[in-house]
Structure 1
Amino acid sequence: DKLRSDRGVKKTFTLGVSVEDVSFHIFTGKLRIIGSIIKGPEDLIPLGSHHTIEAKLNTPIKIFKEHWSSYALKRINQAIEASKKLSAIIVVLEDDVADFGLMRQFGIEYYGPVMGNVSGKRIIDKNRAKNIEKFYQKIVDYILKFDNIQTIVLAGPGFYKNDFLNYLELKHKDLAKKSIVEATGSGGRVGINEVLKKGTVEKLAAENRVAFEISAINEILQEIAKSSNLVVYGKKQVKEAINLGAIEKLLVLDNLIRSEDLEESMDMVENMSGEVLVISSQHEGGKQLEGLGGMAATLRYSIN
């Protein structure tokens, strides 16, 4: 951590905090860690006092726990492997606005919008072509900010997505080779979620975690629609099935894990050869799971 003394000099030191609360701010990308100080230079900051650490991407942190659950270690290892994998980005264009959805292994991150100075109607304008090219180049520059983009989905309700692909084929052939076009009825984040629902990214990047999670949620919803005896949802019913050893696949919303002690239940499922999937609350599938009580599972056998 860093402190600025009375003389305005920054001092860097190692700080140990007994964690009491953690929150992640998705729009800033910062992890806020709140707790009491148990290690550090006492002349700068007293032990036992409360402190907040704001960690961002690439901030080195050491985490010490008396017990690590098997699901937590598995998820950490998955995240490490996922960080090495390639990503997909959804670019939704509507008039002179572009919104972006970056597909990560454990969720989708929304970016933008990027604005252009393009008139809404296709009128003859000597500056229009230049303005469109500037707008498209701004989109390209934004895409290039992200590393390891394997797939680019160009979407939106109008003609801009097709025009933008033509621009890529002329000016940025390497990006054009990674791009496909998908029609949507809406722009903005609604359009991004529309692409996710269509399964476009799932077909292009089968290993992508978001598409994988949405597919798992759809399986649950299909079983519920059939009034199947091999599916349960809601905390009470799911925990009963866990205690009976009947769980084949358990889906748990990430927000629920943060607010409740579910480690023992998740370990029980894995110890009985069940599968545990932690579902991100940041996409449409997560919101559907939230509507089911935050937990759902498929069963090996009926418990009714």
Structure 2
Amino acid sequence: MRIIYKDLKNNRVKLNTENLNDLWHLEQIISPGDIITSVTWRRPKTKNDKIRPERQEKERVKLSIQVKDVNFHKHSNRLRVLGKIEKGPDLGEHHTINIDTDSRFTLTKHWESDHLERLEEAKKASKRPKVLLIALDDETATFGLVRQYGLEELGEITSTTSGKMYESDRESSEKEYYGEICSKIRNYMENKNIPSVIIAGPGFTKKKIHSLLKEKYPKIAENTHLGNTSNVGKSGLNEIIRRGIVKRVSEEDRASLETDLIEEMLEKVSKNGKATYGKKEVEKAAEMGAIEKLLVSVEQLRKDRKNIIPIIERTRNTGGEVYIVSSEHEAGTQLARIGGLGAILRYRIS
């Protein structure tokens, strides 16, 4: 995310999105009632016709809309912001502004501290490396990408090798499978500008792939990291994150960090230790200044912002750290299921 200018005296910030992660951050920042000003496309409304013919060409116009709803469509790489036109042609009409991975617009809103922190995080995150994940064995290879909002599945390759094959056919099939995996790794890393890859799974297939990468694409092999998992498929990709393999490769990776924090909290809760969860318990801990790390699910913050913001502010005012957790990964979903609020404490509370 690029911050073009920031005028907090008038509650205005001009932004330029740079990647898919920025759209996820903006979904958490933009709220109903905010004003977005952007160049957009709209069919002109004629004086004679109340209904616009669908064949009429759209025109490029500058509009300001008051936000009613916002949705992140990660598969189409866009954030759809629906609102009522406040400034520009067709005042009072509804319009949708589509924000993609290279959009410039001005956002006017009441900026709270967590909004500004998320903007700065998005700005820093644009400079962080992405990591390609592969969970595989001798039958299946599943590809994924670690993004700020969590895990994105990219695709899967299945081997045609069968136990009933002759040895020569089996070797040929394995060679084809391994070659296809290596080519897919190269394509993803080049097309998506990914600097490193983690290959993990049970057995020795990962080592065979690494050896083949050394022969075919030595530069990629230099940035390849191996790990062990007991699963393949999406479960295997989540296991790579859960085991901290991603963290070792990219220390600042958010999905891995959030998973570690939630698991630490749940472990301490199970041992009657310095952790708690649930709105009532976390609110009490915040009032006592006992929170070291506050974990808030994105959904809970969106649903109950009025009551969650005071807890966040109390935590920060007493020196605690605040983590807004995505539910796009396994641990984040787990936090949402237990109420969306958890805390690692400085000391036990009764």
Specify the TM-score bucket, using the shorter chain as the normaliser: 0.7 to 0.9
5+ residue gaps, structure 1, are: none
Aligned partners of 1:249 and 1:132: how far apart in 2? 44
Aligned to 2:346: 300
Aligned to 1:14: 62
Aligned partners of 1:10 and 1:188: how far apart in 2? 44
- The answer on whether the counterparts of 1:37 and 1:50 sit within 8 Å (CA) in structure 2 is yes
Aligned to 1:77: 120
Aligned partners of 1:206 and 1:62: how far apart in 2? 33
> Is 1:136 the equivalent of 2:182?
yes
Count matched residues.
296
Q: In structure 2, the residue corresponding to 1:2 is in which secondary structure?
A: strand
Aligned to 2:153: 110
- The answer on whether the counterparts of 2:299 and 2:336 sit within 8 Å (CA) in structure 1 is no
Q: In structure 2, the residue corresponding to 1:203 is in which secondary structure?
A: helix
Alpha-carbon offset, residue 132 of structure 1: 4.5
Task: Check 1:138–1:101 CA distance in 2 against 1; reply closer, same or farther (3 A cut).
Answer: closer
Alpha-carbon offset, residue 220 of structure 1: 0.7
Aligned partners of 1:282 and 1:148: how far apart in 2? 20
Q: Which amino acid aligns with 2:295?
A: L
Aligned to 1:259: 303
Match of 2:325 among 263, 279, 283: 279
Match of 1:86 among 113, 120, 129: 129
Q: TM-score, normalised by structure 2?
A: 0.76
Aligned to 2:83: 35
5+ residue gaps, structure 2, are: 1-39, 45-52
Q: What's the CA shift string for 1:205-233, capped at 9, x where partnerless?
A: 222112211121122112112112x3221
Task: Check 1:131–1:212 CA distance in 2 against 1; reply closer, same or farther (3 A cut).
Answer: closer
RMSD of aligned alpha carbons: 2.4
Alpha-carbon offset, residue 127 of structure 1: 5.8
- The answer on whether the counterparts of 2:197 and 2:224 sit within 8 Å (CA) in structure 1 is yes
Aligned to 1:203: 248
Q: In structure 1, the residue corresponding to 2:168 is in which secondary structure?
A: coil
Q: Which amino acid aligns with 1:193?
A: N
Q: Which amino acid aligns with 1:180?
A: H
Task: Check 1:93–1:131 CA distance in 2 against 1; reply closer, same or farther (3 A cut).
Answer: closer
Q: In structure 2, the residue corresponding to 1:245 is in which secondary structure?
A: coil
Q: Which amino acid aligns with 2:41?
A: K
Aligned partners of 1:130 and 1:179: how far apart in 2? 21
Q: Which amino acid aligns with 1:20?
A: K
Q: Which amino acid aligns with 1:141?
A: N
Alpha-carbon offset, residue 272 of structure 1: 2.6
Aligned partners of 2:141 and 2:210: how far apart in 1? 14
Aligned partners of 2:83 and 2:235: how far apart in 1? 38
- The answer on whether the counterparts of 2:149 and 2:255 sit within 8 Å (CA) in structure 1 is yes
Q: TM-score, normalised by structure 1?
A: 0.87
